[in-house]
Amino acid sequence: MPRTLFETIPRVDSRPPHPRLESPPPDRLRTVVEAAVSVVFSIDTARLHAESRGQAQVAHARQVAMYLMHCAFSLSHTDIGRAFGRDRTTVGHACSLVEDRRDDPVYDRTLTNLEEIVRRLATVSIYHEGF
């Protein structure tokens, strides 16, 4: 029987299925995200760990890091709060503040690039334990 134009031909794929990568733990992701954020915002990672809020620039960079963990890795506010030593409501507030600033095209592009960078860095860190 002749095949019609719209008939689908079964696809034969000889490659083995791609193994699903396991997501690193939140503390490890925090390290990856903080590394990227510290470079972009020119802030030492130790200042992002500080228990106090610190300067506005440091607080904002920490909020961006929390936001990236939520958006790039779909972590809950509770898990992010534990990783940063903060409350889940603090994480929610940080995410709201950062999301509100995404109306600025330059800021939005920066965050989009950072999301891609931290996803790739996290993938690399899965294979290289010393990150």
CATH of the domain at 50: 1.10.1750.10
For residue range 68-125, list pLDDT tens digits in order. 999 999 999 999 999 999 999 999 999 999 999 999 999 999 999 999 999 988 887 6
How much is the average pLDDT of 2-6? 49
Per-residue pLDDT at 121: 87
For CA atoms 85, 91, 94, 98, the dihedral sign is: positive
Cα 109–chain centre separation: 15
Q: Domains in the chain: how many in total? A: 1
pTM above 0.85, yes or no: no
* Structure-block tokens of residue 83: 């990783």
The verdict on residue 3 lying in a domain is: no
Give the pLDDT confidence of 22-79 residue by residue, as tens digits: 567 888 889 999 999 999 999 998 888 777 777 889 999 999 999 999 999 999 999 9
Q: Which residue has the tokens 């891609």?
A: 116
**Residue range(s) defining the domain that contains residue 123:** 26-127
Domain assignment of residue 72, yes or no:
yes
